[in-house]
Structure 1
Amino acid sequence: MFRLVAAVGIPVLLLAVVELGLRLVGYGYRPSAIVEVKMDGRTYACDNSRFSWRFFPRHLAREASPYIVPKAKPDNTCRIFVLGASAAMGVPEPAFGFSRMLHVMLADCYPGVQFEVVNTAMAAINSHCVLPVARDCARYEPDVFVVYLGNNEVTGPYGAGSVFAPLAGNLSVIRAAIAVKGTRLGQSMTDLLAAMGARDGTPEMWRGLEMFVDKHVRADDTGLQAVYSHFASNLRDIVRTGRTAGAQVVLCTVAGNLKDNPPFGSQHRRDLSAADAERWDKTYQEGVAHEEAGRYPEAIDTYLAAAEIDDTYADLQFRLGRCYGRMGEYEKALERYVNARETDTLRFRADNRINEIVRDTAAGHRDGVHLVDAARIFEQNSPHHAPGDELFYEHVHMNFAGNYLLARSVLEAVEQALPDRVRKARADDTEPLTEAQCAQRLAYTDVDRYKIAEKVLNDFLKRPPFSDRLYYAEHIERIERDVAALKADVTPQAMAQAAEQNQRAVENKPNDWLLRWRYGQFLAEHVRDHRAAAEQFGWVRDHLPHSWLAHQSLATVLAALGNADEAVRLYERALQLQPTSGRTHFFLGEQWHKRGKTDKARKHYLEAVRWEPDCVPAYNSLARILAQEGKLDKATDICRRGLVFSPDSAVLRGSLGTLLARQGRRTEAIEELQAALRLDPNSAPIRQSLRILQHGPN
């Protein structure tokens, strides 16, 4: 017994002492998804911007949209937690996600009830991350859990195609690792390893799906079976967590773009011989030639011949679907589109097995669990049952129409799940809000339509792996036409209408922080009324005291109003709340730079590029400081370092060209300035610098 105590008890005691000591000195962060804050003598539950540090390297960590609710649920309140990843969050614009529409629909149908729809979803996470979120939500009197989850099971932490925490075959090992990372001792070990250098394969910065372009996972990969098993176990535990807390659970299958989203990755079957591969490729190319010439029957016959050699190549399946669609054989087209998704080796979309697990999990519970089969609902509401760009921005993220369809579908299930005390309060004969009415309540304007479409085009569709897919040029040309048409709609009259719609939405729902925050953005960016914007952001800061974003937003407009001291204070507070915000470091560096405090400015500029290596303004400002100090070589190096992460930055290439010219490196300077001008043909300063360098000051 003594030997047992010595071997086990003493080490455990020592670890406990170290853990306690680290907590006492304030080391580390709170690992829970929900933290509590005091405000006006009351305790509130709110999002923890550091929660995902347990699952991601800090420079890649994602966050939920801010939320805050009273810890003790008020009387006559229905509390609904939404769980999931980026599609549930509402990416690319959470203000118009399905949870927001669900909220306004419920409020309209039950005018005497206070609804709290708390969206805990965040980008890039999967069920390994959502289960701890669910356990935290269970402590705050939930009435309903809504779970929309499944797209990131392969690419998220502990998935078979992840660039984050690697896959482990044993679920207990994964959960133990997550638990250890939640301790202060585990955090210290993680920090130590990070200080020693990033793990091989860890991206230096967030690049979205581009980070996974080499993470192919075939349909027959053994790791995929572990992913399915882990997802099933995690989903069962999420349901059990909700039910144990007294909540009804709404499980949703996951919809995806089939018709307008070619596969991201294609690979041949493992045992394909070299001779068969050559024969397959020759046949496939013949089919491509037929398809491009519009000879669809011949293309189908040729593609089918290639499929007899190897039918696991996802692009082949998608081409067949497209050709069948051109021929009007829509059932066959849908079958091939599904096959293309199932054989896609870059698995960014939930496949059939993921959705089968959701259905099986719901069917396995007699009471308290409701199924929304979103995958089938989207098929039923799509032309020829093949969901496409009518409902999606790209592969899985829904546009406004798609989010509305999901919200209407979830509403029906949620109404069945509501407590009796709430259902009795339903207004008689009240129909759910229409899509247009939701747009009015959420202030979704023509300006938003254009800005979101432009963001999707430039930040998603024009970057890998989207840019590596079939029919890319044709697709981009169509999207660019759509974006140009939306831009043309943003007339002065449309801007005035958008301002009025934002103002009316805030007046109708003055306690909605997101409406106020977006109105503040609109006032600052489009109306240039920084004083009115500060009023909106000030309200948000007062009601979301835990949010670094609220402090940063207010600081930025106060800086524009000339209140530099208060701006500095707010930026510093924002960094206390979230020290990894590169953009906040840059803004604070700017304030010190304007005051001539170059040492402080340099410090924050360096922190900015540490956390956001593509922060072009920070590199440019650093180069300016170094150039003023006469350190032209170091300034040049800073510009080159920035161009590694932002090679298409006209600003950095222009600065680099100017620095090279000052060092007498005329040929190199001209090359950089010419490259900058190609990137930004309308830049008068770059054009002037190049003209002087080529032809002299006259």
Structure 2
Amino acid sequence: MRAKGGKNNKKFPSNIKKSIRRRKPVTHSRTEKRIVSTSMGKEKQKDEEKPSPNPITGWRLWLFRIIALTVIPALLFLFLELGLRIVGYGFPSAATLKCEVNGRKSYCDNIKFGWRFFPRNIAREFDPFNFTAEKPDDTYRIFVLGASAAKGEPDSAFCFGRFLEVILQDTYPGINFEVITTAMAAINSHVVAEIAGDCARHQADLFIVYLGNNEVIGPYGAGTVFSPISGSMSLIRMGIAIKATRLGQLLTNLLGSRGPGKNIPKVWGGLEMFLEKQVQAGDERLETVYRHFERNLRDISRFARKGRAKIIFCTVGSNLKDSPPFASLHQPSLTATDKKKWDEIYKQGVAYEADGKYDEAAARYLDAAEIDDCYADLQFRLGRCYWEAGEYNRARQRYIRARELDTLRFRADNRINETIRAVAGDKVAKGIHLVDAAKAFEKNSPHEATGQELFYEHVHLNFKGNYLLAKTIFEQVEEILPGHIKRHRDNERPLLTEAQCAQHLAYTDWDRYTITDKVLNGFIKKAPFTNQLYHEELVNLMEQTVTSLKDNLTADALEEVAALYRRAIQEDSEDWYFHYKYGKLLAEDIKDYQAAAEQYRLVQDYFPHSYTGYNALGSVLRGLGDLDGAIDQHLKTIQINPTSAEAHRHLGWAYKQQGKVDKAVKHYSQSLRILPTDANVRFSLGLIYQSQKRLDKAIEQYRQALQIKPDHAKAYNNLAIALYQQGKFNEAVQTYRKGLLLVPNSLDLHYNLAVLLKKQGRRDEAIEEFRAALRIDPNSAKTRKALKAIL
């Protein structure tokens, strides 16, 4: 059709046009209007009388509502979840993951499992493990569940699970015992229940549970800094389940992007993180903790039975005699007047105790207890007085009371062990067994008061303690073993002794030194241990022990240790701990980096999924000067574990050595995002900024380094130089002097201060600083030359 005005547009005849224009409007009479109106009304009435569609009522309405509230959201959730998985968002949430080791289909630990329960930067990990997907014939598979005590802290190479495996293997030759320790530091039964559910799918024969110390401070506990306590177990389980999904992880990350909660730690601080989370013995939240603990234990046993495995629950031991309370609080109802009176009496008792007058001290402590007996330190001091007086049973009761009243609840209390006994008691027919480890520890301790004979500190077992626990569990395992395995028992063979286990596990003098040093400097010298009674006395004793052990590690002694590791590897070449620890000895003490690299490559072969071997190999390659190789290994490390601040730090150093400053800054900065309290990384970043003349940024990093480590001499030195470069001469001098107050024996600080004073014309002060530098190092040629020039 053409547009209006086109050539073919036809015209109307003129006569028709006129007719249209002349037509008058139609008019109706009143009668006609009534007829029309009546007709329209009838039509309208007919329309209204037509039946309308039936409304949704009854069961159809409820069905619609149910679909709208459940099916549609479920489909939407499923769609979003699948979409997130397809694009690779999030992380796998199971405790174990499929992997391949030397061509064998296997399962291995999931390094990201802890992300469900902790902030990523401080999430705890399993020690690496793997096992074949299909259990081999003549194999008995045992899973060990628990927290740091079960893991074997401070050195998991000597956890009780490894003792148990050695003892079983020696007693039943021809049977392959797999003891897989799936324990993790800082977790409690809420987390362990998830691990148990996963492990139950892997043809387990036996579960061993040593658990209970972290019920109050772990996730969802009454004194935690992680996920807060809830009275509803259903809500806790729902939250854990949601975080296992990619959509749940997305929501968690979106909420986290708004900033971490003010009470959530950004850096792992060990037990120090819980200083403000004191929980008194009468706190009503403890009942929730005990109830949840029992529920989780029952669920763990249910998972074991579902997987057709038996289960052993162990009661939990703790150090009573040699681990004073971490914190004490008075009863809330104590008045100010009574508090003042209590303090006076308590101080009198302390004075008597310091003088060795234990009877008098005990009498005053008992008087104080008449006013308030809820103060944990008071009970412990009473215990010590009774112990010194030879009243051991009374002492033990007071030590127990002190543990129960400790308001930093890092040790399992009586209710925890009572719950374990109740869950496991008289259920042998259901495959549930009890090992009363706490009783075994008591029987093997002086006057049944557990102490340093079995424990490193408050709960972690020493070598002797782990051997005793394994031996006690072994006795129960023997009763559980099926007949076809029992027939393999070598009855002529006596049970391995502690010394024989030490040989099998390559427990050396070097291990004794490294472990004791770690306990002292990694635990005892830090809060809350620093708040314990008699702390200085303990530190002095341990420092003497560490010094003695270190002095004995001569070059010849280290070679003997190396020989022990080589022999252990020859006997069991598939034990990754032997390779890893031997590599560590070679790298850190013997300085044979090439040999260490060989051991770390073997660790990678056994655990290709773990970053442990890659990070270690990268470190020794740096020592060998192979920067490209080191970078490659550390990049593999962060690919597996993106939250490794150590690997990012090493990458920053290596790239800086190669002159790739931008990459160095990137990895140093990432290291600080993960671990902002690393003073050395801040110093290294400051050096780069200073070399780029970005002095404000350099000064900021140096000052932050000094806030973290006030005695960082190099940070003071470079901060002063940067201030000098900005023309702030007096501030630079003040910085040097402040540094020397904290590090008086720093040659560089004295020397550089002298140089600066000389430039300012302050000759006498400069001479004094040069002479101070010479007293530190009389052989310093540059100091002698500078002093001679100014005189």
TM-score for the superposition, normalised by structure 1: 0.97
User: Which sits farther off after the overlay, 301-310 or 287-296?
Assistant: 287-296
Report the residue type matching 2:233 in the other structure: L
The equivalent residue for 1:128 is 190
- Matched ranges for 1:594-605 at <5 A: 594-605=657-668
Change (3 A) 1:669 1:440: farther
Structure 2 residue 72 is matched with structure 1 residue 5: no
Paired residues for 1:82-231 under 5 Å: 82-231=144-293
Q: Quick one: distance in 2 between partners of 1:467 and 1:51?
A: 32
- SS class of match (2:676): coil
User: Cα distance, 1:518 vs. partner?
Assistant: 0.8
Q: Which one of the candidate residues 297, 300, 305 is aligned to 2:359?
A: 297
**Stretches of structure 1 lacking an aligned partner (at least 5 in a row):** none
Contact 2:102 2:605 survives alignment (8 Å):
no
- Partner residue in 2 for 1:404: 467
2:609 is the counterpart of 1:546: yes
For CA contacts below 8 A with separation 6 or more, give which structure has more relative contact order. Answer: 1
Residues 317 and 437, structure 2, Cα contact 8 Å, conserved in 1: yes
Name the counterpart of 1:272.
334
- Distance in 2 between the 1:47 and 1:359 partners? 30
| 2:325 matched residue in structure 1 | 263
1:269-308 alpha-carbon deviations (Å, 9 max, x no partner) = 1111222222212221121122112221111111111111
Query: Could you tell me how far apart the structure 2 residues matched to 1:14 and 1:121 are?
Result: 36
SS at structure 2 position matched to 1:69: strand
Compared with structure 1, are the counterparts of its residues 624 and 277 closer, same or farther at alpha carbon in structure 2 (3 Å cutoff)?
same
The residue aligned with 1:620 is: 683
Deviation at 1:378, TM superposition (A): 1.0
Whether the aligned pair in 2 keeps the contact of 1:249 and 1:417 (CA below 8 Å) is no
Give the SS at the match of 1:463.
coil
- For 2:170 and 2:380, the matched residues in 1 are separated by 43
Partner residue in 2 for 1:611: 674
Q: CA separation in 2, counterparts of 1:418 and 1:685?
A: 67
Aligned partners of 2:214 and 2:577: how far apart in 1?
Answer: 26
**Deviation string, structure 1 residues 479-528 (Cα, Å, up to 9, x no partner):** 21222222222222221111111111111110011111111111111121
- Contact kept in structure 1, 2:710 and 2:742, CA below 8 Å: no
Q: How far, CA to CA, are the matches of 2:754 and 2:481 in structure 1?
A: 70
Matched, 1:532 2:598: no
Task: Deviation per CA, 1:367-403: give whole Å up to 9, x if none.
Answer: 3222221111111111111111121111011111111
Pick the aligned partner of 1:246 from 308, 313, 318.
308
Could you say which residue in structure 2 is the equivalent of 1:523? Answer: 586
Residue 363 (1) aligns with residue 420 (2): no
Is 1:651–1:676's contact at 8 Å kept on the other side of the alignment? no
Letter in 2 for 1:491: T
How far apart, in 1, do the equivalents of 2:639 and 2:125 lie?
Answer: 16
* 1:636-689 CA distance string (max 9 Å, x none): 111222344444544544443443444454555456556656766765545544
Opposite residue 98 of structure 2, the aligned amino acid is E
Distance verdict in 2 for CA 1:432–1:614, change over 3 Å: farther
Q: How many residues align?
A: 698
Aligned to 2:643: 580
Higher alpha-carbon deviation: 24-33 or 638-647: 638-647
Question: What does residue 701 of structure 2 align with?
Answer: 638
C-alpha contact 1:404 1:435 (8 A) present in aligned 2: yes
Shift of 1:474: 1.6
Q: What's the RMSD between the two structures over aligned residues?
A: 1.8
- Bigger Cα displacement from structure 2, 647-656 vs 338-347: 647-656
CA offset at residue 537 of structure 1?
0.8
* Correspondent of 1:470 among 533, 544, 547: 533
Q: Against the structure 1 CA distance between its residues 532 and 5, is the aligned structure 2 distance closer, same or farther, given a 3 Å change threshold?
A: same
Would you say the 8 A contact 1:287–1:299 is kept in 2?
A: yes
1:362 corresponds to which letter in structure 2?
A
Q: Deviations over 1:38-69 (max 9, x none)?
A: 24443111011100100001111000100111
Distance 1:40 1:476, change over 3 A: closer
Q: CA deviation at 1:239?
A: 1.3
Distance 1:598 1:318, change over 3 A: same
Q: Which residue of 2 aligns with 1:556?
A: 619
Corresponding residue to 1:307 among 356, 369, 393: 369
Query: Which residue in the other structure is 1:14 paired with?
Result: 76
Other-structure match for 2:436: 373
Does residue 1:570 correspond to 2:633, yes or no? yes
**Distance in 2, Cα, partners of 1:499 & 1:481:** 25
Secondary structure of residue in 2 paired with 1:634: helix
SS at match of 2:433: strand
What is the SS of the residue equivalent to 2:428? coil
The one-letter amino acid paired with 1:100 is: R
Runs of 4+ in structure 1 off by over 3 angstroms are 642-694
Q: Distance in 2 between matches of 1:302 and 1:637?
A: 54
Correspondence for 1:493: 556
Q: What corresponds to 2:518 in structure 1? A: 455
Unaligned 5+ segments in structure 2 are 1-62, 758-765, 771-785
- From 536, 543, 551, the counterpart of 1:480: 543
Distance 2:216 2:164 in 1: 28
User: What amino acid maps onto 1:130 in structure 2?
Assistant: V
Greater mean alpha carbon deviation, residues 364-373 or residues 326-335: 364-373
Three-state SS of the structure 1 residue aligned to 2:601 is: helix
Q: Secondary structure at the match of 1:218?
A: coil
Is residue 577 of structure 2 the alignment partner of residue 514 of structure 1?
yes
CA deviations over 1:335-374 (Å, ceiling 9, x no partner): 0000000000000000000011111111052332222211
Q: Matches of 1:93 and 1:651 in 2, distance apart?
A: 33
Stretch deviating more after TM superposition (405-414 or 215-224): 405-414
Q: 1:670 to 1:259 in 2, by over 3 A?
A: farther
Instruction: Return the alpha-carbon distance in structure 2 between the equivalents of residues 648 and 195 of structure 1.
Output: 35
Which amino acid in structure 1 is aligned with residue 230 of structure 2? A
* Contact 1:83–1:130 under 8 Å retained in 2: yes
- Contact 2:711-2:743 at 8 Å conserved across structures: no
**How far did 1:558 drift?**
2.4
> Amino acid of the residue matched to residue 489 of structure 2?
R
Evaluate the alpha carbon distance shift between residue 104 and residue 649 of structure 1 in structure 2; reply closer, same or farther with a 3 A threshold. Answer: farther
Distance 2:375 2:225 in 1: 24
The one-letter amino acid of 2:582's match is: Y
- Cα contact 1:268–1:312 (8 A) shared by 2: yes
Q: Which amino acid aligns with 2:129?
A: Y
Distance (whole Å) between structure 2 residues aligned to residue 478 and residue 118 of structure 1: 36
Is the contact made by 2:679 and 2:704 (CA closer than 8 Å) also made in structure 1? no
Please identify, of 327-336 and 421-430, the stretch whose mean Cα deviation from structure 2 is larger: 421-430
- Contact between 1:67 and 1:118, CA under 8 Å: does it hold in 2? yes
> Which residue of structure 2 lines up, in the alignment, with residue 387 of structure 1?
450
Larger radius of gyration: 2
Separation in 2, partners of 1:95, 1:340: 32
270 and 34 in structure 1: CA distance in 2 versus 1, 3 angstrom threshold: same
Q: Which amino acid aligns with 1:541?
A: Q
1:345 — aligned with what?
407
Q: Could you say which residue in structure 1 is the equivalent of 2:133?
A: 71
Q: Percent identity?
A: 50
| 2: CA distance, partners of 1:71 / 1:659 | 59
SS in 1 for 2:144: strand
Q: Which sits farther off after the overlay, 652-661 or 444-453? A: 652-661
Q: Deviations over 1:101-143 (max 9, x none)?
A: 1121222112211121111111100000001101111111111
Q: 1:332 aligned to 389, 394, 404, which one?
A: 394
State the Cα distance separating 1:204 from its structure 2 match: 2.1
**TM-score when normalising by structure 2:** 0.85
